[in-house]
Amino acid sequence: MKRLWGDDGTTEAFRTEFETWATDNGGEVQSSDEGAVFCEFPGTENHASFELGVYEASGQHVLRFDTIREEIELKVLSEYSIDGSTFVVKSDQGSRQFEIDVQSGNWSVRKRPI
């Protein structure tokens, strides 16, 4: 896992990898700067359209995942990994984790008390 956040917001390495991952997998980057990165994926035969973003709000680091049917926000996320069509983001202690494979449309959220 790599660090998602630096001293001034998201790291440049994260933004570059995230944008490349999104465009390589059929997504479109909606916005990208130190404080927020958002992309949108159109619907396919495997999944409905969705938006995925990582941003800073009120001093907290947040992941937002929106589909037609669901909205998920997870806070205090700090590490990420990208492997092919799969994106994973989690907290330092692993109590929160979001994983999505954009090619299959499968995603999961794990939250456990620490």
Nearest alpha-carbon partner for 99 in 111, 87, 91, 85? 87
pLDDT (tens digit per residue) in 2-17:
999 988 888 999 999 9
pLDDT (tens digit per residue) in 79-100:
999 999 999 999 877 788 999 9
pLDDT band at 114 (very low <50, low <70, confident <90, very high): low
pLDDT (tens digit per residue) in 19-64:
999 999 999 999 888 889 999 998 888 778 899 999 988 888 889 9
Entry field: residues in the chain: 114
Burial class (CB in 10 A: 0-12, 13-18, 19+), 74: buried
> In terms of pTM, does the model score above 0.85?
yes
